Structure 1
Amino acid sequence: MSNQFKKNLVTACVLAATSTGIYASDNTDISSTIDLSFRYRIELVDQENIVEEANASTMRTRATIKTQWNSKFDSVLEFDDVTEIGMNDFNAGQGNTPDRGQFPVVADPEGTEVNQAFIRYNGDIAKFGYGRQRILVGNQRFIGGVGWRQNEQTYDSFTIKSKPTDKLSLNYAYVFNVNRIFGEAVNAGDHKHNTHLINADYQLDLGQLSAYYFSVDNEDAFALSNNTLGIRFAGKAGDFAYTLEYASQSETGDNPNNYSADYYLLSGAYQQDNFSIGAGYEVLGGDTSGGQGFTTSLATLHKFQGWADVFLGTPVSGIEDLYIDGTYKVNGFNFKVVYHNFSTDENGSDLGTEIDFSVAKKINKNLSVLFKYADFSSDNVLYSSREKTWLMLTYKL
């Protein structure tokens, strides 16, 4: 995204927000709201192949200005600031903290940025958005916002969202820049794109059927360019919920690898009001001869394949994840535990196991607290064992 475009877009949104106060008395159609939130987090990392332990203490402050101009037009302007508070013995990743290379990575660099800045037209059949936006497709397995990190991933894009019937939703996005979690201070913080994202959801009596086509053309990281075509069904039968998904992927753009890989997901869960137990089998296929495995570079990766974030990139030989999870709610506390067993797709080599645990509680309408722990264990020389611990407080005004 060019600097001039950023300046023009932010200026337009600032004028949109500030002018609300000037003209609200003359035009009652115009209204504006300001939301403010704070997210403080401690993250501790003990990684086997790194002598030092990471100790990170960061605060994210977010201010969001939403302006409704009339029944058709609205705009959003959102700023994020990430600040280190106290403990800063961690590597923020991708060259953000070159003097801290002796520590494990905690990808929460300091900085102040425009997280969102877009205008939107709300038509009778479709909504059209332009600017820096949050794009979340389905469960974010392929396209997401990486909302767990303090600096969110957003997209400079043109979007169309349509709901022609009560059961059918259609979405399209053209993405020309991805604002990644590493921030604008380093080159890895922005990736130029010529990317098209298309997905559709249809509600059936038995569940939701989804289809998608993602043509990701990354002009800064060629190996991340690919075409993905997939279908997903998420249904429910009584107290049993299940999901079936398949996708096929191959290279596109200037990707130097000539590969083809498949994605499979089969999961099920038994659900009651206060607890659930389930299992799943997820495969991101490999193509050793083609030089690349199934790639999900725009996903919210922290949600999948373990919270220790060991497998942010798919091995060339692919990865299989067999997992069991359970949740339990009592007295306002939400408990979750997950067990993962990882192996390669092509030859079944053992990659390790992981246990994840979390407990969350909403203290009141403004304040919530989360404790989270991940323990990855492996004898594979390519994937070192590690433990991660988080304590997070979120306050919303």
Structure 2
Amino acid sequence: MVLIGSVTPWSSAAAQGTSAPSAPAVSPASPDPITPYLHARYRLETVDQADIAQSATASTLRLRAGLRTAVWNGLSALVEGEAVVRLGPRDYNDTVNGRTAYPAVPDPTDVLLNQAYVRWQPARELDVVAGRQTVNLDNQRWVGSVDWRQNDQTLDAVRVGIAPAAGARIDYVHSWRVNRVFGPDSPQGIWRDSNIHLLRGSATVPTAGTLTAYGYWLDLPAAPALSSRTLGVRFAGDHAMDGGVKLYMAGEYAHQRSHGANPRRIGHDYWLIEPGLGVGPVVARVGYERLEGDGTTALQTPLATLHAFNGWTDRFLTTPADGLRDLYGDLQWRLGPVFTDAPATLRLQWHDFNATHGGRNYGREAGAWLTVPVTRRITTSFKLSHYDAQRFASDTTKAWLSIEARY
């Protein structure tokens, strides 16, 4: 499953490969030289955090409009603007409005250029994209566009994709600027003068899955403590059995060291094992994820779609210095059609968090996410998550109601 544009209900499950920028290229057979599109997403988000007296309520609308060209001699282009508008009171901290008496909901009001790139695909084996773009690699654990927030994370970058043989792919990305979800008005909204190199190769093994090896070099002068070199390997696949039963498996190991502007010497391991079983409309997974820490520093994934991992209340967007061990269960149930042929889905999630250094119990989290397609173009969803703090952070409850339309 490739994640394109938005975080799907299986955002933490194994994604097989890399995605192109979020608006796909137009087929050469398209009769229109320029095709406009519009995405709109309204969200009501509430946050109740025990260590902050006020509760947050954020009512925001994201409008994303763009133009994409048809393919001409392998060339195409896309330009996409984005506006995030507050609808209602400012009873939340959007990270730049100064409302620090409220919990954070990092969806600041803004109007900006979200994507603008040129794409060259002279053959099926070669794909080059240059400009401002979303980049989503594998399951977005290391690199993602954070589409869960109203403002995307994009890279000013050149991306080259090569498919040397059937089932094989090599991707390389060089980026010099990270446009983060906090927007240009935030001191940490743009990481300028970055020197980022992302290299990834994958091969699909028939009837087994996809084996991926990667190296990510992040030199971030705007966030030097997050500069790192990460080398890793990942396997993800599934196997169909008799009686409509399907087995799933994902496993991953990586080692991260300091790099570039990082003033400290670090060396931390990452581990993931995630088996699963699908029976009819239900898929259940259990997982163990370990981000190592030594009490002073810990493994970090600053370019990831972090909301998709370690609980939806976002208590672990930054890995604690003592590291993080996440034992979790995840269940998705296709409930069947309600308004359209597309099925409604219910996802349930549970986490138990502990430190890798010292072993202290951080806390537990439970969440539920219901998604209901209303028409072919309109989808609604309701999401609820609660973090029960033990020895890290504070009790937190978050809820979201969203309506999304794509034209």
Q: Deviations over 1:314-340 (max 9, x none)?
A: 111110000011111123320010000
Moved more, 268-277 or 167-176: 268-277
Displacement of 1:171 in angstroms is 0.3
Residue number in structure 1 paired with 2:353: 342
Match of 2:147 in 1: 147
Is 2:373 the counterpart of 1:367?
Answer: no
| Partners of 1:311 and 1:138 in 2: CA distance | 20
Q: Which residue does the alignment assign to 2:27?
A: none
Q: Give the equivalent residue in structure 1 for 2:22.
A: none
SS in 2 for 1:89: coil
Point out the structure with max Rg over C-alpha.
Answer: 1
Q: CA deviation at 1:187?
A: 2.3
Is 1:30–1:70's contact at 8 Å kept on the other side of the alignment? Answer: no
1:165 aligned residue: 165
Distance in 2, Cα, partners of 1:261 & 1:37: 40
Runs of 4+ displaced beyond 6 Å: none
Correspondences of 1:324-339 after superposition (within 5 Å): 324-331=329-336, 332-339=343-350
Shift of 1:129: 1.3
- Same amino acid, percent of matched pairs: 33
Matched-pair contact (CA < 8 Å) for 1:259–1:287: no
CA distance in 2, matches of 1:339, 1:30: 47
State how far apart, in whole Å, the 1-side matches of 2:259 and 2:233 are. Answer: 20
Aligned to 2:109: 110
Give a deviation string over 1:76-123, Cα, whole Å, max 9, x none: 101110000013200001xx111x110000000000011100111112
Specify the alignment match of 1:283 in structure 2. Answer: 290
Q: Partner residue of 1:388?
A: 398
**How many residues of Structure 1 are paired with residues of Structure 2 in the alignment?**
364
User: Quick check: 1:308 aligned with 2:313?
Assistant: yes
| CA distance in structure 1 between the aligned counterparts of 2:305 and 2:277, rounded to whole angstroms | 25
Q: Choose which of 260, 265, 269 in structure 2 pairs with 1:258.
A: 265
Of the structure 1 ranges 197-206 and 269-278, higher mean CA displacement relative to structure 2 is found in 269-278
Q: SS at the partner of 2:89?
A: strand
- Distance in 2 of aligned mates of 1:355 and 1:30: 47
> 2:205 is matched with which residue?
204
- Matched residue SS, 1:311: coil
Whether 1:354 and 2:382 are equivalent positions in the alignment is no
- 1:378 has 2:389 as partner: yes
Partner of 1:274: 281
SS at match of 2:268: strand
Partner of 2:3: none
Structure 1: 5+ residue stretches without partners: 1-27
Provide the rounded CA distance (Å) in 1 between the counterparts of 2:403 and 2:325: 33
1:393 maps to a residue whose letter is I
* Distance in 2 separating the partners of 1:71 and 1:304: 41
CA distance in 1 between partners of 2:258 and 2:247 (Å): 37
Which of residues 251, 263, 266 in structure 2 aligns to 1:244?
Answer: 251
230-239 or 260-269, larger mean C-alpha shift: 230-239
The offset of 1:186, in angstroms, is 2.2
Letter in 1 for 2:39: S
Distance 1:359 1:69 in 2: 38
Amino acid at match of 2:279: Q
Further displaced range: 241-250 or 84-93? 84-93
- 1:90-129 matches, within 5 Å, as 90-93=92-95, 96-98=96-98, 100-124=99-123, 125-129=125-129
Residues 30 and 69 in structure 1, CA contact (< 8 A), matched pair in contact too: no
Contact persistence 1:73–1:119 (CA under 8 A) = yes
Greater fraction helix: 1
**Which stretch shows the higher mean deviation, 305-314 or 68-77?**
68-77
SS at match of 1:88: coil
CA offsets, 1:227-248, max 9 Å, x none? 0000001122331101110000
Q: Which residue of 2 is the match for residue 5 of structure 1?
A: none
Q: Which moved more, 1:274-283 or 1:67-76?
A: 67-76
Q: State the SS of the aligned residue for 2:188.
A: helix
* Residue of structure 1 equivalent to 2:138: 138
CA distance in 2, matches of 1:184, 1:231: 34
**Counterpart pick for 1:214 among 209, 213, 216:** 216
CA distance in 2 between partners of 1:33 and 1:237 (Å): 39
Is the aligned partner of 1:186 residue 2:186? Answer: yes
Partners of 2:146 and 2:132 lie apart in 1 by: 15
SS at structure 1 position matched to 2:141: coil
- Alignment partners' CA distance in 2, 1:29 and 1:252: 49
Cα distance in structure 1, aligned partners of 2:105 and 2:186: 15
- Report how far residue 30 of structure 1 moved: 7.2
Q: Secondary structure at the match of 1:188?
A: coil
- Verify the 8 A CA contact 2:73 2:122 in the aligned structure 1: no
Matching residue of 2:237 = 235
Task: State how far apart, in whole Å, the 2-side matches of 1:371 and 1:130 are.
Answer: 36
Show structure 2 runs of 5+ residues with no match: 1-29, 241-245, 337-342
The whole-number CA distance in structure 2 between the counterparts of 1:185 and 1:244 is 39
CA contact (8 A) 1:29 1:70 kept: no
Secondary structure of residue in 2 paired with 1:364: coil
Match of 1:6 in 2: none
Determine the C-alpha separation between the residues in 1 that align with 2:326 and 2:131. 36
Greater mean alpha carbon deviation, residues 184-193 or residues 135-144: 184-193
Q: TM-score by structure 1 length?
A: 0.90
CA-atom RMSD in angstroms: 1.2
1:319 aligns to 2:324 (yes or no): yes
Distance 2:280 2:39 in 1: 30
The alpha carbon displacement at 1:69 in A equals 4.8
Q: Whole-Å Cα distance in 1 between the matches of residues 121 and 279 of structure 2?
A: 38
